[in-house]
Structure 1
Amino acid sequence: MVIVGRRATMRAPDDVDRQILRIAVPAFAALVTEPLMVLTDTAVVGRLGTTSLAGLAAAGAVLGTVVGLCVFLAYGTTAVVARNAGGGRPDRAAAAAVGGVWLAAGLGVLLGAGIAISAGPVGRALASSPASADAAREYLVVSSLGLPSMLVMLATTGALRGLMDLRTPVVVAVVSNLLNAALSVFLVHGVGWGLAGAAAGTVVAQTVGAVWLVVVVAGHARRHGAGLAPRAADVLDAALRGVPLLVRTGALRAALLIAVAVAATFGDAPLAAHQIAVGLVTLLAFALDALAIAGQTLTGRSLGAGDVVGTRALTRRMMAWGAGFGGAAGLLLLASAPFVARLFTTDPAVLDAAVPAIVAIAVIQPLSGVVFVLDGVLIGAGDGAYLAWAGLLTLAVYAPLAVGVGWAGGGLTWLWVAYGGFILARLLTLVVRERDGRWAVTGA
């Protein structure tokens, strides 16, 4: 049942499912843009030799962390734009979108400058040799020019999701990836620019994508009477919304870094196996994050329209989706664990460490599905402050578990069992919040 104001209507489950898929499928396609660009650069740079590839790995770790922490630009913008659009305030939705874009551009310039200035020391800290450190510095300096465009793409994609324009981000993602692939091959091997050519190709592709998306968002803004000039109030509002989401994301990133640090104490083979496991978890996270984005968008629009009962029903339906998809992914991973590991390595020691870790990951997946969905629902509701505190709490639970596994020499499988404890702690904090209902604040 859905209540809008005092009027109640019924919404069929099939209609809800279609809405979820309508958002989740294109969201998944847009989510893989940046990883595909990274894979393209990896394939192109790999032919330059081990030194260049090692430099790319070090530089990619830096850029991936920065962009990952800035994902609040997409999530926060989706939530506030969807809420205002659902509340019948398209002018405020458009103004919020413009504010988010200006915040992304400004933040991109500052972070890009910081990366360019610190590229040398950072490269030396992360690289495995002086030669690869020089390669990492070269890639970071050029890539820093594209960081404003990358962050603007996050904000504009989030805004368009809130406005239910789901087609444009996918089209832009496809074109950007094709352009990146063509330019990288041409600049690296045709012109002979080497690693800098790969970075330059990505920068151009990101810039084209950002300009395209900005033009579309600007068109929405003009149609609804919102100005395109930066307004301090809107930019500040976008920044304040982002702070708790930044804390929440930072806690998640810290948990991953702790796991890498502990896995490194077990030796080369377990660390290599851990990298395989992380890659599989990341792949599954893209699909689950698509469901979370559907939760963000639909929750924001529903609460903006004053529909609390419908929002709670939608949340329960999406929890079922998360559990179902997570369960299916877990069963598939469980059945294919020995074969999946062999796609990445033939080293018997790495395989012995990877297979049981993958089994542990498979068991976690149904819980992970519900966690991703509830996380998205609460982001869509604007409940960032709770998510920040919950993130810090779950990190406090996980850190001693992971460190304890390392201290006891428990091995990689037990480290991933500890990660299951992290997911369980997240689930408990999210379910408690979902049940108390205080996040379901209505209105634009």
Structure 2
Amino acid sequence: MTLDAVSWLWKSIGKMPLFLLFKDTRNVFRSDDIGKEIMQIALPTALALATDPIASIIDTIFIGRIGAVELAAVGVSIAVFNQVSKIAIIPLVSVTTSFVAEEDANERLSMEADDSEVLKKGYAVDLEMEMKELIPQVESSCKSSTLTKSYRRTDDRRHIPSASSALVVGSLLGLIQALFLIFSAKPILNYMGVDSNSPMLKPAQQYLTLRSLGAPAVLLSLAMQGVFRGFKDTKTPLYATMVGDAANIILDPIFMFILRMGVSGAALAHVISQYLISLILLWRLLKEVDLLAPSINDLQFGRFLSNGFMLLVRVIAVTCCVTLAASLAARQGSTAMAAFQVCLQIWLATSLLADGLAVAGQAILAGAFAKKDYNKAATTASRVLQLGLVLGLSLSVIVVGVLQFAPRIFTQDINVLQLIGLSIPFVAVTQPINALAFVFDGINYGASDFAYSAYSMVLVALVSITCLFIQSSSHGFIGIWIALSIYMSLRALAGFWRIGTGTGPWRFLREL
């Protein structure tokens, strides 16, 4: 084979969608326009996403001081609340972010086109006035200015129908979730392995029932966060979340120890913090968006709900996997559940940092697809994937160091500490896989590829659930973490397959 043939073959391979995802790796940390835009969105998002797990970790530390039974009970309740919430949260936030980003991009294009037309008309008026010399040049300029203003919106607030739709849907889903959890707390906990004779039942039911009162605020605040993400404004949600979580951390010891409310105090502190976050976000959103749509048809609930349903299917599949894992841990007793709760909180807190990159990719890609700027879409996808891999590798190192010393902060129970030690390799090694899986999700959401995301996740869940039953029965507590590692690997593979093969909305990669 000649040198020219080898060169041609190498270039051909380099143009395959599989390799386009990892092109220009030397630019991974480059501070160009794409790099700056990604960081401006990703960093505040990552911090905002990290604050809530950090607040939950602090909750866990306080509750661990009460006892191992209470720690395990709250662990089950948090797992239930989080998984039920995710059924509504992820479709709501993801669809909102993509649709708001698309509508905002289209509105900006429309305004730019209007401005261009206005300038042309204004220039024509000025030229005609000068030629006819009917009025002085100053008056002509004033009229031209007046003409320009007549074409501009007098209201500085944006008109984004998806923002109004998200708030309506979020409020209704929050109320439904609250009622469901309040009246079904005991049966759900029984299903999770906390039977009527378990000492975990009473504190778990108390915590879950009280925390469910905050469900409307959780759904509403996350719907508004989706709107701000669509605007590529992730600083506002960060500030609101930091204020709310700071209030939670302050109120925790007051309610739990000073007022002697125990686990109920931890739940109440969390509820108050969620309503505080919602009020801050709503106050800011009302300044930027006109939430009163001209008519019900402008809200486009059909489009919103149809795509949301696709993601709902996906989230149910995800929820089944994680909830089953928590249930299998709970069935092995309070010691196993307490260790699983500590490791899961750290696992999620670190892994969710990659969601900052996922949100950045989603917001930028949604705008790029709306403008049909496919070069920017390809560059953004490859950049966030590369950054996600680097982040995952870094987190692996950090987690190993932290988990060597951190477990004693949560509990002094020697049996719980022993199980946590066995989980460390799985929590650490899966960090790069988790990071890529989350980033792939954001990229596919940015391309509005919701159907593939749903169907692929159903297949992943079926395999993962089978692995959970087999591994937990044969290897016990460690088997649960083996199955979770397989689950995250399959999620990453599904995302990689879609983009790497250049199918669906990624067909344009074959032509670049």
SS at match of 2:469: helix
Correspondence for 1:147: 215
Correspondence for 2:38: 20
Amino acid of the residue matched to residue 84 of structure 2? Answer: V
Which structure 2 residue ranges, 5 or more long, are not aligned? Answer: 1-26, 111-156
Correspondence for 2:147: none
The alpha carbon displacement at 1:45 in A equals 5.6
How far does the alpha carbon of each residue in 1:128-169 deviate from its partner, in whole angstroms, 9 at most, with x for none?
A: 657754444444444333211110011001110111222211
Correspondence for 2:105: 86
Deviating more after overlay: 20-29 vs 202-211: 202-211
The alpha carbon displacement at 1:307 in A equals 0.9
| Residue of 165, 175, 183 corresponding to 2:243 | 175
The alpha carbon displacement at 1:262 in A equals 5.0
Contact 1:99-1:230 at 8 Å conserved across structures: no
The alpha carbon displacement at 1:85 in A equals 1.7
How far does the alpha carbon of each residue in 1:15-43 deviate from its partner, in whole angstroms, 9 at most, with x for none?
A: 22222221111112221344345445555
Correspondence for 2:344: 278
The alpha carbon displacement at 1:14 in A equals 2.0
| Residue of 218, 222, 231 corresponding to 1:163 | 231
Say if 1:59 and 1:94 are closer, same or farther in 2 by CA, change over 3 A. Answer: same
Q: Does 1:218 align with 2:286?
A: yes
Equivalent positions of 1:357-368 (< 5 A) are 357-368=423-434
CA distance in 1, matches of 2:499, 2:331: 38
Correspondence for 1:101: 167
Say if 1:275 and 1:188 are closer, same or farther in 2 by CA, change over 3 A. Answer: closer
Which structure 1 residue ranges, 5 or more long, are not aligned? Answer: 1-11
How far does the alpha carbon of each residue in 1:356-396 deviate from its partner, in whole angstroms, 9 at most, with x for none?
A: 54224433332332222111100122111111111111122
Q: Does 1:433 align with 2:498?
A: yes
| Residue of 375, 395, 407 corresponding to 1:309 | 375
SS at match of 1:257: helix
CA distance in 1, matches of 2:477, 2:218: 34
Say if 1:336 and 1:441 are closer, same or farther in 2 by CA, change over 3 A. Answer: same
| Residue of 80, 97, 112 corresponding to 1:62 | 80
CA distance in 1, matches of 2:265, 2:293: 38
| Residue of 390, 398, 421 corresponding to 2:486 | 421
CA distance in 1, matches of 2:172, 2:204: 25
Say if 1:20 and 1:143 are closer, same or farther in 2 by CA, change over 3 A. Answer: same
Equivalent positions of 1:259-408 (< 5 A) are 259-261=325-327, 273-334=339-400, 338-339=404-405, 354-355=420-421, 357-407=423-473
Amino acid of the residue matched to residue 31 of structure 2? Answer: D
Say if 1:382 and 1:206 are closer, same or farther in 2 by CA, change over 3 A. Answer: same
Contact 1:98-1:218 at 8 Å conserved across structures: no
Contact 1:81-1:162 at 8 Å conserved across structures: yes
Contact 1:160-1:166 at 8 Å conserved across structures: yes
Say if 1:281 and 1:22 are closer, same or farther in 2 by CA, change over 3 A. Answer: same
Contact 1:105-1:152 at 8 Å conserved across structures: yes
**How many equivalent residue pairs?**
429
CA distance in 1, matches of 2:425, 2:262: 40
CA distance in 1, matches of 2:324, 2:74: 22
| Residue of 308, 311, 318 corresponding to 1:252 | 318
CA distance in 2, matches of 1:245, 1:177: 28
Say if 1:200 and 1:228 are closer, same or farther in 2 by CA, change over 3 A. Answer: farther
How far does the alpha carbon of each residue in 1:70-102 deviate from its partner, in whole angstroms, 9 at most, with x for none?
A: 222222211111122223359987210111011
SS at match of 1:114: helix
CA distance in 2, matches of 1:140, 1:274: 18
Q: Which has the larger radius of gyration?
A: 2
Deviating more after overlay: 38-47 vs 355-364: 38-47
CA distance in 1, matches of 2:478, 2:339: 10
How far does the alpha carbon of each residue in 1:173-202 deviate from its partner, in whole angstroms, 9 at most, with x for none?
A: 121123334445555556666655544443
Amino acid of the residue matched to residue 160 of structure 1? Answer: F
RMSD: 3.6
SS at match of 2:31: helix
SS at match of 2:246: helix
Deviating more after overlay: 38-47 vs 170-179: 38-47
Which structure carries more relative contact order (alpha carbon 8 Å, separation 6+)?
2
Amino acid of the residue matched to residue 499 of structure 2? Answer: E
CA distance in 2, matches of 1:59, 1:88: 43
CA distance in 2, matches of 1:31, 1:234: 29
The alpha carbon displacement at 1:50 in A equals 7.0
Say if 1:198 and 1:228 are closer, same or farther in 2 by CA, change over 3 A. Answer: farther
Say if 1:172 and 1:338 are closer, same or farther in 2 by CA, change over 3 A. Answer: closer
Say if 1:413 and 1:173 are closer, same or farther in 2 by CA, change over 3 A. Answer: same
The alpha carbon displacement at 1:344 in A equals 5.3
Contact 2:54-2:349 at 8 Å conserved across structures: no
How far does the alpha carbon of each residue in 1:52-79 deviate from its partner, in whole angstroms, 9 at most, with x for none?
A: 6665444333322222222222222111
Say if 1:98 and 1:440 are closer, same or farther in 2 by CA, change over 3 A. Answer: farther
CA distance in 2, matches of 1:419, 1:53: 22
| Residue of 111, 127, 132 corresponding to 2:177 | 111
Say if 1:325 and 1:45 are closer, same or farther in 2 by CA, change over 3 A. Answer: closer
Amino acid of the residue matched to residue 432 of structure 1? Answer: W
* Percent identity (aligned): 26
SS at match of 2:320: helix
CA distance in 2, matches of 1:144, 1:271: 21
Deviating more after overlay: 229-238 vs 94-103: 229-238
